[in-house]
Structures are given as structure tokens and as C-alpha cells.
Structure 1
Amino acid sequence: MQLASRDSAVRPLVLGSTSAYRRELLSRLRLEFTVEPPHVDETPRAGESPEALARRLAAAKAAAVARMHPSSVVIGSDQVADLEGEPLGKPGNHANAVAQLLKMSGRTVVFQTAVTVMCQDTGFAQHDLAPVRVRFRTLAREEIEAYLRAEQPYDCAGSAKSEGLGIALLEAIDSDDPTALVGLPLIRTCRMLRAAGLRVF
């Protein structure tokens, strides 16, 4: 685990993401930052676990943006829904979302949210994972259809938009970093930014 040099306190902050959810979460810290799409292939590798996939993509996103902004502190993050070892990503469309939610009905899903903070110039890099255990209610097909019509969460891992109406699909959430379920674990991110030399306040 590396600590940043003192001059990193004045370094720009870049969020390597196309996610509006992560942008909103990071803005809660009231830090100045810019956003840069990472353009990373998110295809899972053969036999890759959901946890390993989330970790790899978070690191890849941060590294891709760090190459474009070598003097900046860069945040990369990724989330994969883990259904007993089966990765569930963003559904992309209605049919896939229905299939995901039917599969998760009455079961516990671990949302694996990984985050990487790095700065190419200083060689700083830290990685962490915030697993969130979510227990879904037993869902009727008509409930799923009504939820999807209302929220259209086709860009959310596992189709579960917990910050919106998706919370009504759930029985319980277990996490030590609550914003991880939305897409960026802010407790861990704050700790890593401090290690990189950026003061949150």
C-alpha cells in the first residue's frame, strides 16, 4: 500500500466513469472533479468470479484514465451483482431485467462494488472492495413489470435501483459502506483519497 507524495494535495481529481450515479455520489464530497469516460471492455473472462471481475474492471478503468491524466488522482469503480457466483451485470433492456429479477426473487445477492484510486505520476495505487448483501423479497411477475415500467433501471447492475423504487423489492441490506450499493463506496473512497493526499474537508 503506497502513500502519495505531499505535492499530490494540489493534484486534480478525475472520476473515470460514465455513470451518472457515481458522479452524483462523488459530488456529495464537495470536491472539484472532472469526469472522463474510461472506454474499457467490460466483458467477463472465462471462469472469472464476480468479485474478481469487479476488482479488475475498477482497476482497468482507473488505469485507462490515469494514462490520459497522469498528474491527476483518478477514481475507477465497478459493480457486479453476485448471485451465488454467477455475475449479473447491467441488463440493458426490459427482457433481461425481467429475467434477472425473477432469478433473484427470494434470494440473497452480493453486490460486489470495487474501487481503485491511483495517480500515475506518483505511483500511488490503492484498491478495495465493498460487498453489499441484499436479500430480495419473493417477487410476483406483475410486481417486477410494474417496477420496471416505473424505474427502467436498465443501466443498473442486477436491475436493482435501490435509491429509487427498487428499495421496495428488498427485505434487507447488509453493508459497512452504504453508498456502495448505488455504485461508489464513499467511506472507502474517502479513506483512499486521504491516502492519496486529497483532503475531503
Structure 2
Amino acid sequence: MRTLVAMPEPTTPIETIGLFPLHAVLLPGAALGLRVFEPRYLDLVRDCSRTGRGFGVCMILEGEEAGTVTSAAAYGTEAAIEDFGTGDDGLLTLRVRGRRRFHVHRVRVRDNGLQVAEISWCGADAVEPLRPEHGLLATLLHEVIEKFGGEHASAPNERFDDAAWVGWRLAEMLPLHDTQRQALLQIEDPHERLQQVLSLLP
């Protein structure tokens, strides 16, 4: 097993998680569809289905999704499998949902090419009301959802006063670059995250 990343030893408890690097950013609460065909990821999905655990999604910084080992961002999101099936091409399809954020401290590569990371979990977002300076963002989110619909169309009104939820949904639904989404993923404070979203608006 080869070590790809070595960083200072973390002071918080660590766990291990299999990684599924992508040219995309999975955000907490967001859904993502995947097609799985490489043996290393089929094995990962099988293990997760058996144990009930999720796997980690990190944005690729260098390399491709298939084939060679990639270099991925040091922050990612746990993916929980919500549904699975078979596509028209016979490949396994997954629908996953973003859960907890994590910080990667070290990555090792198994013989089958699967990256396994030692991680610490980031703190959960506190439920805090929007600050007055971010009220415009709740209005914007309402307008985006009304225009495009989707699974968040039935969200209760109180969600639109939750700073963390509003920030994640705007990061999910606005036409941002993945590098911008990754930067938002790495921000700990939900109000700071909203301020960053505000700065990205034209």
C-alpha cells in the first residue's frame, strides 16, 4: 500500500474512509448520480452496502476519474447511498446524498487502486438564523427554486431562515465553478459561507 499524502498528525480522532474522487463537489444535503464500473469502486460500494457506511467524495485536483490514481482535495463530503439500479448500458448507477464534511490527513492506495483516507470529521453546522445582511440570499434561493423546481420545492419555510441550509442550497443550485464550490465546502462558519456566496453574485 503506497502513501500519497502525509500531513502532520491530527489532534482529533481519526477514522478511515474509502474515497471516490470526482470532477465534482458533493455538498452536504445535495444529491448526486454516479455510474460505477471500475472494480475498485464496485468493491467500495459493495463494502458500504454491507456495512451501512458511506464513502468519501473529494474533488479531483489532478488526474482523471477512471484509471490512474488521482490527486484530490483535502476536504470532502461523506456520500450515503440512497438508491441504486442498472443503467441502459448495464452499469451500476447510484444516487447518493452528501452528509458530513471531512478533512483528509493521509491517503493510502490499496493494491486494487482504491484510495483509503485517514480523516477527521468537520464540525456539524449549527442551526442559526440568517443575519439581516444575508436576507437577500434567502429571497434569491426562493426565486431559484421557484424557477427550477426540484426536490427542495417542498422545503418548509423555516428552512429559508437556516443560515447553513440556505448557504448549501445556493452553493448547490447557483451556476458556480467547482473550485468555488470547493472553497465554500472548506468554510466552517455558515455566516462566513453566506458572505462568500454573496461575493460571488454578479
Query: Please, what TM-score do these two structures have when normalized by structure 1?
Result: 0.29
Answer 1 or 2: which has greater strand percent: 2
